[in-house]
């Protein structure tokens, strides 16, 4: 790791106790130690903690138990390129000094009961930040600052794998949602939509990757005729927890408008009841719109617009759709004249009227 490329500024706030004269060299991290507010002069860097102290850092549990340090915020979620600050404070004043250790490089010690870490521009994807304290008894303890560096995706796009043009109903296709340049990919939730309906949610399995990556999420679909003209799209959401930005960053893909070739389908029942005088209507639908010819007893016929008893019988629709020829047979039964149906309705109306009047 190139220390000089790490634009980190460490701001140590000193209390009344002034730091002891410096004998050890400045820490390797290019930190700036700002002077305490009453003094306009720049103080020499405070000492690095002795190496023996650093050796304790990997944390002996009984020491951690007595480590009364607190970092605010408790979890830091920072967007790449953004500034941040964190305040580490000691709950008790029985500490010989407080300091920060960033990616194994240590700052100097503060004699106050808190120490501030300030970064102007987060330009690293993965750092560890630890606040440490030297106890008056000669020991040390530390507390790690959980840190998430994030970047919303550059681009989210949806497409069909190995397919362009219209789809056929009943066949399986694979949607792919490509999310470009997102970090950390482990916090990404990808949702596939059909119109406003959620089809599925996917998450990356890569929880270790900290730098921006491009990941492709896939979902199988089997379109039906209802999917013709429907929009498919996906959405990428970075779920960074309660300490992260609210609402979480969300990016939508473009809309994929599907053309589904289907049919021909018979819209009417294959046993069709028609009343005398009514038209015999039976639609055949498809995409593309199929050609339809009706046959009765081997003769091409037009469906009757005023059915009579003699129109009852078997009708065959010979259709030509995108998959070729297909026949449908419809059994038509013609019921007695419309008068019957109307008188039935009249009875119902009369009943309702009497019912209403009895209410008034």
Q: Does 114 bind ligand NAG (CB under 6 A)?
A: yes
Tell me which of 295, 296, 312, 337 binds ligand NAG, using CB under 6 A. Answer: 295
Applying CB under 6 A, does 74 fall inside the site for ligand NAG?
A: no
Kindly state whether residue 4 participates in binding ligand NAG, applying the rule CB under 6 A: no
Check residue 251 for interaction with ligand NAG (CB under 6 A): no
- Min dist. Cβ of residue 138 to ligand NAG (A): 24
What phi and psi, each to the nearest 5 degrees, are found at residue 139? -90, -170
For residue 139, the minimal CB distance to ligand NAG (Å) is 22
For every residue of 57-107, DSSP letters joined together read TT--HHHHHT--EEEESSSEEEETT--EEEEEEESSS-EEEEEEEETTEE-
Query: Of the ranges 129-137, 202-210, 239-247, 340-348, which one interacts with ligand NAG (CB under 6 A)?
Result: 202-210
Alpha-carbon gap, residue 264 to 319, rounded angstroms? 7
Q: Which of 123, 126, 231, 278 binds ligand NAG (CB under 6 A)?
A: 123
> Which residues is 69 bridged to in the sheet?
90
**Piece of the chain touching ligand NAG by CB under 6 A; list 24-32, 154-162, 337-345, 348-356:** 154-162
Q: Determine, following the binding rule CB under 6 A, whether residue 205 of this chain makes contact with ligand NAG.
A: yes
3-state secondary structure of 344: helix
Contact status: 157 vs ligand NAG (CB under 6 A): yes
**Binding of ligand NAG at residue 294 (CB under 6 A)?**
no
Minimum gap (Å) between residue 209 Cβ and ligand NAG: 4
Please state, in angstroms and rounded to a whole number, the distance separating the CA atoms of residues 238 and 156. Answer: 12
Q: Which residues of 301-331 are buried (b: 16+ CB within 10 A; e: fewer)?
A: eebbeebeeebbeebbbbbebeeeebebebe
- Interaction between residue 155 and ligand NAG (CB under 6 A): yes
Part in contact with ligand NAG (CB under 6 A); list of ranges 133-141, 204-212, 230-238, 239-247: 204-212
268 binds ligand NAG (CB under 6 A): no
117 and 129 in contact (C-beta within 8 Å)?
Answer: yes
To the nearest 10°, the Cα dihedral for 294, 300, 306, 311?
-90
DSSP secondary structure code for residue 206 in this structure: -
Angle at 285 between CA 282 and CA 289, to 5 degrees: 125
Task: Give the binding site for ligand NAG (CB under 6 A).
Answer: 81, 87, 89, 114, 116, 121, 123, 155, 157, 161-162, 202, 204-206, 208-209, 213, 217, 295, 316, 318, 327
């Amino acid at each position: 790791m190139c220390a000089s490329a790490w634009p980190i500024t460490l701001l140590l706030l000193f209390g009344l106790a002034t730091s002891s004269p410096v004998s050890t060299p400045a820490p390797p991290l290019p930190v700036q130690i700002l002077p305490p507010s009453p003094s306009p002069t720049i103080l020499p860097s405070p000492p690095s903690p002795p190496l023996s102290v650093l050796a304790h850092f990997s944390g002996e549990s009984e020491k951690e138990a007595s480590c009364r340090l607190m970092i605010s915020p408790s979890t830091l979620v920072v967007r790449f390129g953004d500034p941040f600050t964190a305040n580490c404070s000691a709950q008790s004043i029985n500490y010989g000094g407080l300091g920060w250790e960033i990616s194994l490089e240590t700052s100097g010690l503060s004699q106050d009961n808190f120490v501030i870490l300030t970064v102007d521009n987060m330009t690293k994807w993965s750092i560890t930040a630890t606040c440490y304290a030297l106890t008056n008894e000669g020991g040390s303890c530390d507390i790690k600052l959980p840190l998430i560096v994030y970047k919303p995706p550059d681009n989210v796009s949806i497409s069909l794998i190995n397919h362009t043009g219209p789809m056929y109903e009943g066949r399986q296709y694979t949607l792919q949602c490509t999310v470009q340049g997102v970090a950390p990919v482990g916090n990404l939730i990808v949702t596939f939509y059909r119109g406003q309906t959620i089809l599925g949610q996917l998450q990356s399995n890569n929880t270790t990757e900290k730098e921006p990556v491009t990941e492709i999420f896939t979902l199988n679909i089997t379109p039906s005729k209802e999917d013709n003209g429907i929009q498919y799209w996906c959405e990428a959401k970075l779920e960074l927890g309660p300490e992260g930005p609210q609402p979480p960053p969300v990016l939508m893909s473009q809309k994929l408008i599907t053309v589904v070739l289907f049919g021909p389908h018979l819209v009417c029942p294959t046993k069709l009841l028609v009343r005398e005088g009514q038209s015999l209507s039976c639609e055949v639908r498809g995409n593309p719109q199929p050609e339809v010819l009706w046959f009765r007893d081997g003769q091409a016929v037009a469906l009757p617009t005023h059915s009579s008893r003699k129109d009852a019988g078997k009708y065959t629709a010979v259709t030509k759709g995108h998959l070729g020829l297909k026949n449908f047979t419809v059994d038509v039964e013609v019921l007695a004249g419309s008068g019957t149906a109307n008188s039935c309705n009249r009875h119902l109306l009369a009943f309702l009227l009497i019912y209403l009047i009895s209410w008034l």
